[in-house]
Structure 1
């Protein structure tokens, strides 16, 4: 009888230890926190959407919002963030070059087609000679805007120019004598449209959506979905293979998330294919 009691005691103790280990393991898994910096719209919204999915994977996702295009990379380099989500590769390459940093892409998630908006004309073909085109100071976007204008036959570009590095100095012909102004912060572009301060105003989709504009309805011209400017999850070099980052990318590029993006933004944000 004593041996039986001892056996039962040992069994219960073993079971208790197993339970404690299991609970401890779950706590350890839940303690994996991933802090990601993002633009409020749509990046932070998309991250919030995948939070429950990541929680099941043992990842506690913390989203920090940024309203500019400079601080998220600075915070990432300073190790205040594990990743950020707001930029495309041409922007990242330009940032790395200017700041001697080595931030890298962990993968693409979606495309935000940049749009041309106007309160003065309904079509690019209606643009009059000498019209003003307002563009942000975000140089990596210049090629995107030039492509839209080129496709509308408002300008031509010099031969051999790469779209991802093109600037307004690469315009070969400008028959309408369009005047380009590009000294504005990207987040201010919707306000310039509201105040009717230019004939054509280029606005990034995230700022357009944030200002209650619908790019597919309100823009008079929209970047094509075949654009090479897909938005990425950016990390410090070497972190792209970390398990938590891999789980984040899996959640963001899952079929369910991509379908949600399509439905949520009605074409203003396009999931990668």
Structure 2
């Protein structure tokens, strides 16, 4: 659309953190598949890591399984590390995102288990309701394929714009058919969205990054409901989903203790995806 301004921002700080994660993992392969007592799992730094720490404790108590958690600060490195064998599993992404990475990069991944739906919300420091959002507002979107589409679909469903295909989970601003209110869009790395919130009129922020920034889903101008298809996963390399150690991790994760910890950390905004 000629009325849609797209700006792509790639923060150098986040790139440095990504390179640091890769450096730390270099030369450190994942657990030997013959070692059923130790695995490495990748998470995104923040409350999701704290949730995984509960599963780690339970896996040790119930199965004598040692779980090493490797933290990342972006959405790309955990899949690269899983693909190259540096990790045995990761737990940070929903299926549409995983499938987009599989298609784009040729990864051979499988779903070992489901974790939580972390609803995405649209936040503003300038406006208290979606009705107050002015024409020509600048809106920040996460720049990963599926979460950007996820945000635009919410705007479509809210009647703020019209997509060419509302079923396109990887929609970007060029897929907008009608933008009657002349919104301008900025595509930002997901982890950086809370930082740019003061500089835009509205930003779509995953709960993974919203909660640590002190944003409550209750304050979102637009938000997903529990019916969202974007349930997060424990992903593994194809063929590993039935490994005993992986199943022990899944069993430890899909527990009341983990559910209670997520409820505490996310203030009720983490919906169990295995129930």
**1:35 shift after superposition:** 0.7
Tell me the SS of whatever aligns to 2:211.
helix
The answer to whether residue 92 in structure 2 is matched with residue 91 in structure 1 is no
The answer to whether residue 66 in structure 2 is matched with residue 60 in structure 1 is yes
User: May I ask how many residue pairs the two structures share in their alignment?
Assistant: 240
Tell me the SS of whatever aligns to 1:164.
coil
Q: How does 1:1-273 map to 2 (within 5 A)?
A: 32-55=37-60, 56-158=62-164, 160-182=165-187, 184-193=188-197, 196-217=198-219, 219-272=220-273, 273=275
More relative contact order, 1 or 2 (CA 8 Å, 6+ apart): 2
The aligned residue for residue 24 of structure 1 is: none
- The 8 Å contact of residues 144 and 163 in structure 1, kept in 2 or not, is answered as no
**1:60 shift after superposition:** 0.7
**1:239 shift after superposition:** 0.4
- The 8 Å contact of residues 116 and 270 in structure 2, kept in 1 or not, is answered as yes
**1:168 shift after superposition:** 2.3
TM superposition score normalised by structure 2? 0.81
The aligned residue for residue 26 of structure 2 is: none
Distance 2:156 2:104 in 1: 28
- The 8 Å contact of residues 117 and 220 in structure 1, kept in 2 or not, is answered as yes
The aligned residue for residue 8 of structure 1 is: none
- Deviation track 1:95-118 (CA, whole Å, cap 9, x = no partner) reads 111111112221211011111111
Distance 1:244 1:31 in 2: 6
- The 8 Å contact of residues 56 and 249 in structure 2, kept in 1 or not, is answered as no
Distance 1:190 1:119 in 2: 10
Distance 2:77 2:237 in 1: 15
Tell me the SS of whatever aligns to 1:210.
coil
Specify every segment of 5 or more residues in structure 1 that has no aligned partner in the other structure, as ranges: 1-29
Distance 2:157 2:166 in 1: 15
4+ residue segments displaced more than 4 Å: none
CA-atom RMSD in angstroms: 1.9
**1:52 shift after superposition:** 2.3
- Deviation track 1:161-196 (CA, whole Å, cap 9, x = no partner) reads 4142333233222221111121x2111111001xx2
Specify every segment of 5 or more residues in structure 2 that has no aligned partner in the other structure, as ranges: 1-34
Distance 1:99 1:125 in 2: 40
Distance 2:146 2:39 in 1: 28
TM superposition score normalised by structure 1? 0.82
Bigger share in helix = 1
- The 8 Å contact of residues 38 and 84 in structure 1, kept in 2 or not, is answered as yes
